[in-house]
Amino acid sequence: MENRLARYQAPRKSKVLASVLKPADASRSVFEVAWDVLSRQAFPLEVTDAAELAERMTRSEAFGAAQAAGWVAGVLTASFAYPPAKDELPDAKLCALDDDVVAALGADSVWHANADGHPLPVFNESGRGFGWSSITRATFDVVVVARGSGLDLVLASFDED
């Protein structure tokens, strides 16, 4: 599945910093794992360490697999600076990948995002805005981390206006 994440982002030349699904490291928090992944990217981060990343990622309430639908697809495809005029779901292959990632992490997985709204407007509650705590130095960014079923997920995307 990790290869499917990488294959999807490569041909799009998207502004995705990271899309990693790997075996969980039980000796470290998911935020420490995410810090390792993000700090290796050639893009300036606003956070300076795993503790600051964890603080920003936990400003919004954690959620479970039942609320995780569309987050993988949203991080990989959404335009945060110039959202579409109408709500559209991503392509069927990406929706299937989204479903597979959520299923692989399992029903008991715990998800964190630096945003308090979903990156795909179709999943947001009516009238709810989209706020976030910056992780990168980009104008807009969305970072999602999850842990479940012995796996860690790190997704990060950015956009400029």
Q: What is the pLDDT of residue 76?
A: 86
Q: How far apart are CA 108 and CA 116, in angstroms?
A: 21
Reduced to 3 states, what is the DSSP secondary structure of residue 124? Answer: coil
Which residue shows structure tokens 């360490």?
A: 49
What pTM value is reported for the model? 0.90
Q: What is the pLDDT of residue 13?
A: 45
Q: What is the pLDDT of residue 2?
A: 67
List, run by run, the mean pLDDT of 10-residue segments along the chain (161 residues): 67 71 95 96 93 96 94 84 68 90 97 88 61 89 96 92 80
**Sign of the CA dihedral running 56, 96, 83, 3:** positive
> In three state form, how does the secondary structure of 25-89 look?
CCCCCHHHHHHHHHHCCCCCECCCCHHHHHHHHCCCCCEEHHHCCCHHHHHHHCCCCCCCCCCCC
- 76 to each of 11, 27, 29, 107, 152, how far by Cα in Å? 12, 28, 24, 22, 17
The full set of domain ranges for the chain reads 2-159
Structure confidence by residue, pLDDT tens digits, 4-36: 776 665 444 458 888 899 999 999 999 999 999
Strands 140-148 and 110-113 come out as: antiparallel
Rg of the chain (C-alpha set): 14
Q: What is the pLDDT of residue 21?
A: 92
